[in-house]
Structure 1
Amino acid sequence: MPVLATPGERSQEPRVGAPEWRQATWAKTRNAHRVTERCGQEAVAMWQPEDSVWDPHVARHLCRAAYIEPWRFRVEMIKGGGHVEKPPPGEGVTLWKGKMKPPAWYARLPMPLHRDARALQTAEVVQAHARGSRLTAARLSRAQHQMNGQVRLLQRQRETTDHRLSEVRKGLLINQQSVKLRGYRPESEKIPDRADRMLTWEKDELKNMKRKLEEDMEKSENLLKILASCRDTLAFCCKERLQVVDLMNQPLDKVLEQAGRHSWVNLSRVPTPRTQGQKTPPPDPVGTFTPECAQALDEARRLLAESKDTLAEMEKNEVDIRKLQLQISDRVCASLAQKMRETSELKERLNMSVGLMRGTIHRCTKFKQEMHITRGLIKGPLSKHHLETREKLDRPLVRVYQRHVGTQLPEATRLAQGTDKLQRHISNVEKNLNELLTVQKNLTWSFNCKKIGFDVDHNVVRLRLRQRHPHVCYEQAQRLVSDWDPRTPPRRDTSAAVK
């Protein structure tokens, strides 16, 4: 009896299950494998850097070799023919024994000690910020101290310049006193000379010095205000930075020394054993070295350099003006002394002339007196009781002859002629004597004028030497000019007079 075969037995497929059913199962299995591999790779990739994830386009057994290849040393040829192995560039720990340099490892997921690590990192940031604030405060404090020192130097120089300005003003008062004193000379001694020109030149030079010193004082005053403002700004910035620091366990000078520099403004740097210090950090609005601090330090650096130049210029001007003022005063005193010597020579010459004229006047006066006596003798006696025998006109000879009238005798005519000639000589002598007396009077007046001029110039020189002494202040010289008048005696205190 024949056996009947089923339709499934007649086909060559030994499997009983349907292909769709079997493919569905395989699809689920492949999907499960893909999910498992993906999740495993993602789970591992979370703990590895991004560049350590395998490339899907590279075969599985070649991924590790391709990943490790950049870690190996590179061989470079040398010019001499040899070669040298160098590690690849970048961060990481170099393994010289294995000739490899793995890159730095960065995880993309927080570690189990992530909280502690973040706390340590925050503490490091806070400590770095505190150190930066302390260093910035130290820089600002040192700059503030240097600004204070510069302000003190500028103030001292201003005091010196102000003292020199008072000396120049006192020199103007001395010049005014000298001109005022020389104005009391006689009119014959007021002829303009080189001493007057020297006084005028001294006045002009002192005015120029005064103007120059006043400009220096004004310039230094403006600079002092700017320095004080910059110092206040530095103090405010330093105080603001110090608010960040809770515990100042190190002095600010020590912080600057650790930073490798003693002066951030670099005005007067003290040599340190460190060869190179830290560079100035860039300004950071949210950091420790803010733009305000940078601007304050830059302004301090600029002002310190400017004030240094200003101080040097003011000191040089003060020294030059002191020397020039002393030279001018000496030259004026020398001119007055020369004028005194010339006046003394003229006085001696006038005195000699007056002495010679005095002898001539005495001789002329004596000769005039003798001529007056002679004229009286020639005129004859005033009374008949004074007549002598030889002077009588009735002498025996005249009485005997009686040939001539008494008025026609030659004796009377000759007497009249002699008397007239003698009178003319007397008049001429009187005229010459009056002229001699007039000239002597003029010489005496000129001599007295020269003496007064000499005394005035001597008093001017003495006054100048006394008034320019450093112990004489400007107020004393000003009171002397305002109150003193050589033509009037000093005022006496009534209360003192009563006592």
Structure 2
Amino acid sequence: MSELQATVGPRPWREASVKTIKVAQALAEQGDVTCHTARMYDPLPTGRDVLALQSNQRAHQYIRQSRDVVSKLHRALVEVSDEIRSTTRCKEALEKKLDHCRKDIHLNRQTAVIREERPKREKGYDGADSLIESELMQLQDLKAQLELQLYTVKEQLYELHDSRVRILANIQERSQVLKLSASHGFTMGARTDRRIHSAPVGHSRAASAPAVTLTTPTSRAGERTSSRSQQRPQSSAVRPQASHERSVTFSGMDTGSTLPCTDEVSNSLDTAMLSVKESRRQRDQASRLMSDTTALQQAALRSVNDGLTQKVAETVTLKQHLILSEAETRASMHRNQRWLEHQELTQGYTMGPINSKDLTSRERLDRPLIRTYQSHPGTNLPEARELARNSNIMESSMRRTQRSLGMLRLAKNKLEADRADKHAAANVDSDAIRLRRRHGNHRWVQSNPLPRPTPAGLNVQDLSFAPDV
């Protein structure tokens, strides 16, 4: 302000007025600065509603996160339940396979017991016995592996059951939050939102007010936002408080004791997923073990059956050779018997009649012609000596023939006994093969039970038909 040109009034009087004007100007500038500062840092007229809206937004976010947590828990529950069903089916398959292995072990021991019924001559240790012992050792090893795998699967089932129980408990606990907030959360937020958007806006204050973002609850169409153009730092009254929880990220969500995803929820989900992963690994391992067990069981069964079949074929071949040899021995016995009879007849002819009265004149050694001839000196005849020598030769030959005939009879008896033993052994091994073929293939047949009523009309029992081809 320029100085006033006063020529009449006194100077002190003029300076006092100028001083008053300057003080007023300074106070006006200070008032403008104070207003500007107040515009920047003073709470808005709608501060109460803004605080309420932010609180509602925080509550809505908590509810939405709780719903997400419950949804994840439900998905985890479904996955754990499906895995429990799959693992239960795997356990049943393992139990069935273990039962088949035990049946094969029992069948192996039955085969060994049946082969003990062979004759003593046929009880020597052979290749079939070696195959049976190898099969038993292999089946016992497979049985131990199946039992260990079954125990592991059962333990995994217990873990899955515990995980499901924990998830159910967490679902019930998190669902309580949704039940308590279902009737109040979104209604309060909508009412506050309407109050904010319907509040009057000042003329100069609104133009120079800092920006405050107002976010309504998320709807299906998206999010609605209202913001002021000018940005400024938030007031301490509306500034969010810092959390003192130690948060750990889990699937894009923070965890904490006061957050929707608590440490218990996170741990239960982590444990459940680890249990599901381990269960799948155990199921794959059990599936491979069952496939290998089936292949090894069938291979061992075929090996023993082929060995027994080959032993039966060898036994039958030997029995046929024994039958041929027995026939040849019998024919030789008949020839020796006929020759012995011929020798006995020849011996009888050589010795002559038993009674001297039965001798004819031509057979007597002292017949007239010979007696007349021997009356001359030096006329001895060798007839008697030759007859005695021939008789001795015939007796010796007869003894050899009888001894040969006795050896042939002994050989024939041994051949018959050996043939009978071979026949019995072949029958025993054939019984064992039929038993193994009948029980080695674990087949299932369909049974059709039909009620069998009594004369009074009561069904006391069922008559089942199980056809097997």
TM-score normalised by the chain length of structure 1: 0.67
Aligned residue number for residue 156 of structure 1:
89
Q: 1:37 to 1:285 in 2, by over 3 A?
A: farther
| Cα distance between partner residues in 2 of 1:296 and 1:352 | 82
1:166 maps to which residue?
A: 99
1:63-103 residue CA offsets vs partner (Å, 9 max, x unmatched): xxxxxxxxxxxxxxxxxxxxxxxxxxxxxxxxxxxxxxxxx
Deviation at 1:395, TM superposition (A): 3.1
1:337 aligns with 2:315: no
1:186 aligned residue (119, 133, 141): 119
2:139 match: 206
List structure 1 segments (4+ residues) > 4 angstroms apart after TM superposition: 13-17, 32-44, 398-402
Residue 70 of structure 2 contacts residue 174 of structure 2 at CA under 8 Å; is this kept in 1?
A: yes
Residue number among 296, 304, 324 corresponding to 2:268 in the alignment: 296
Write the deviation string for residues 136-162 of structure 1: whole angstroms up to 9, x where unpaired: 001011001100101111110111111
Using the alignment, how far apart are the partners of 1:44 and 1:16 within structure 2?
36
- Residue of structure 2 in register with 1:56 after alignment: none
Q: Secondary structure at the match of 2:270?
A: helix
In structure 2, give the amino acid aligned to 1:345: T
Distance in 1 (CA, whole Å) between partners of 2:260 and 2:440 is 58
Q: For 1:129, which of 62, 75, 90 is the aligned residue?
A: 62
TM-aligned CA deviation for residue 393 of structure 1: 5.0
Partner of 2:367: 395
CA distance in 2 between partners of 1:281 and 1:420 (Å)? 124
Mean alpha-carbon deviation: is it higher for 290-299 or for 373-382? 373-382
Paired residues for 1:187-336 under 5 Å: 187-246=120-179, 280-336=252-308
Q: Does 1:119 align with 2:52?
A: yes
In 2, Cα distance between equivalents of 1:347 and 1:400: 69
Higher mean alpha-carbon deviation, 177-186 vs 34-43, is at 34-43
Q: Which has the higher contact order (CA 8 A, sep 6+)?
A: 2
In structure 2, the gaps of 5 or more residues are 1-8, 184-219, 221-249, 446-469
Tell me the CA shift for residue 244 of structure 1.
0.5
**How much has 1:217 moved relative to structure 2?**
0.9
Q: 1:239 offset after TM fit, Å?
A: 1.2
2:37: which partner in 1?
45
Deviation at 1:36, TM superposition (A): 8.2
Which position in structure 1 is the counterpart of 2:207? none
Q: Which amino acid aligns with 1:465?
A: R
Higher strand share: 2
Which amino acid in structure 2 is aligned with residue 201 of structure 1?
Answer: S
Shift in alpha-carbon separation, 1:236–1:160, aligned structure 2, 3 A: same
Matching residue's letter, 1:325: Q
Over the residues paired in the alignment, what is the CA RMSD in angstroms? 3.2
Stretch moving more, 143-152 or 299-308? 299-308
Question: What corresponds to 1:109 in structure 2?
Answer: 43
Structure 1 partner of 2:405: 433
Q: Offset of 1:432 from its aligned partner?
A: 0.8
2:365–2:384 CA contact under 8 A, matched in 1: no
Quick one: structure 1 residues 453 and 394, their matched pair in 2 at CA, closer, same or farther if it must change by over 3 Å? closer
Equivalence map 1:411-426=2 (5 Å): 411-426=383-398
Superimposed CA distance per residue, residues 442-469 of structure 1 (whole angstroms, 9 cap, x where no aligned partner): 1111111111121111111111011123
Q: CA 1:380 to 1:128, structure 2 compared with 1: closer, same or farther past 3 Å?
A: same
Distance between the aligned counterparts of 1:404 and 1:346, measured in 2? 72
Q: Secondary structure at the match of 2:326?
A: helix
Deviation of 1:310 (Å):
1.6
Which whole-Å CA distance do the structure 2 matches of 1:456 and 1:42 have between them?
118
Instruction: Give me the whole-angstrom Cα distance separating, in 2, the residues matched to 1:201 and 1:362.
Output: 49
**Displacement of 1:16 after TM fit?**
9.3
One-letter code of the match for 2:76?
A
In structure 1, the residue matched to 2:358 is 386
Instruction: Provide Cα deviations, 1:5-44, integer angstroms capped at 9, x if missing partner.
Output: xxxxxxxx96899x9xx9xxx89x96x9988876775565
Q: How has the CA–CA distance of structure 1 residues 34 and 234 changed in structure 2, closer, same or farther, with 3 Å as cutoff?
A: farther
Check if 1:450 corresponds to 2:425.
Answer: no
Q: For the residues of structure 1 that align with 2:182 and 2:401, how far apart are their CA atoms? A: 114
Alignment CA distance shift 1:393-1:327 (3 Å) = closer
Q: Does 1:375 align with 2:347?
A: yes
**Structure 1 position 469 matched with structure 2 position 441:** yes
Q: Match of 2:435, as an amino acid?
A: L
Picking from 453, 460, 474, the partner of 2:432 is 460
Shift of 1:420: 0.8
Amino acid at match of 2:282: T
Alignment CA distance shift 1:158-1:381 (3 Å): same
Alpha carbons of structure 1 residues 119 and 358: separation in structure 2 relative to 1, 3 Å? same
1:287-322 deviations in whole A, cap 9, x for unaligned?
Answer: 111121112222222222222222111111111211
SS in 2 for 1:191: coil
Aligned-residue offset at 1:285: 2.2
What's 1:495 paired with? Answer: none
Letter in 2 for 1:414: E
Q: Is the contact between residue 91 and residue 153 of structure 2 (CA under 8 Å) also seen in structure 1?
A: yes
Compute the displacement of 1:219 (Å): 1.4
Q: Which amino acid aligns with 2:69?
A: T
Shift in alpha-carbon separation, 1:399–1:136, aligned structure 2, 3 A: closer
Deviation of 1:352 (Å)? 0.7
Residues in 2 aligned to 1:279 and 1:34: alpha-carbon distance in whole angstroms = 61
What is the alpha-carbon distance in structure 2 between the residues aligned to residue 129 and residue 35 of structure 1? 50
Supply the distance in 1 between the matched residues of 2:295 and 2:428 (Cα, whole angstroms): 27
Code of the residue aligned with 1:49 in structure 2: it is M
Q: Aligned with 1:282: secondary structure?
A: strand
Choose which of 74, 77, 82 in structure 2 pairs with 1:141.
74
Identity %: 27
Which amino acid counterpart does residue 175 of structure 2 have in structure 1?
A: L
| Cα distance, 1:401–1:200 mapped onto 2, change above 3 Å | closer
Structure 2 CA distance for aligned equivalents of residues 342 and 160 of structure 1: 40
Q: Hey, what does 1:53 align to over in structure 2?
A: none
